[in-house]
Amino acid sequence: MKLLPLLSLCLLTWSAATFGDQHEPPVKVIVMQDSDAILPCSLGSGEDIESRRFEWTKDYEKVSKEVFMYDGTASHPSAASKPSVGTVDQTKDWALLQCEVLGASPKPQLQWQDSDGNLVPAKDPQEEKRGGSYDIILQAAVTKTDTYRCVVTQKEINHHTQAETFVYISDIMVNGGDFSRPTPQLGG
């Protein structure tokens, strides 16, 4: 049943508009960032969805960007949400940062940057594909106090999001720790 993918993917996030028919005015749904929204997607009882196109877009800085589209034959899922970032291990000399993106499609590219925007070397990403979406974890070892940013980019849909975390590196660990561990090796 071709209607099932359309109806099951009506729950998306961000401020969005839907265009069920080019002759009907768009319906605007406004939500707070990182909140859920139920987007309109009802059809008349006898309508053939194979000849219809449904688009949901988000308006950001006065530019509309497609986040989901159904054209009767294929559906195209939404953009990645804000990544989850944090420190997963730390000694007096280094911290291991982790950036996690879940359920993204198309496949995003992740990178760590310092507060000056310089690329931070990272391990090879851990990737898992589930259906048409991706779960990706990217880790990076850092050795200086700074604010670090995980940047997520999906070039195919012109989508970009990021999250930051602050790291304090000190000779004195507040919560204890094993100072004898070497810095994690990068590159796989």
Kindly report, residue by residue over 40-94, the tens digit of the pLDDT. Answer: 666 666 666 666 666 666 665 555 555 565 555 555 576 888 999 999 999 999 9
Tokens coding 48: 């053939």
Q: What is the mean pLDDT of residues 139-154?
A: 97
Q: How far apart are CA 172 and CA 44, in angstroms?
A: 66
Domain at 84-167, CATH from 2.60.40.10, 1.20.120.10, 2.60.120.10, 3.30.9.80? 2.60.40.10
pLDDT given for residue 5 in this prediction: 40
> ω before 26 within 30° of 0 (cis)?
no
* DSSP letter (8 states) at residue 40: P
Q: Which sign does the torsion angle of CA 138, 64, 42, 70 carry?
A: negative
Q: Phi-psi category of 20—alpha, beta or left, where left has phi over 0 and alpha has psi -120 to 50?
A: alpha
pLDDT tens profile 121-146: 999 999 999 888 899 999 999 999 99
Q: How far apart are CA 15 and CA 116, in angstroms?
A: 30
pTM of the model: 0.58
Give Dmax (Cα) for the chain: 70
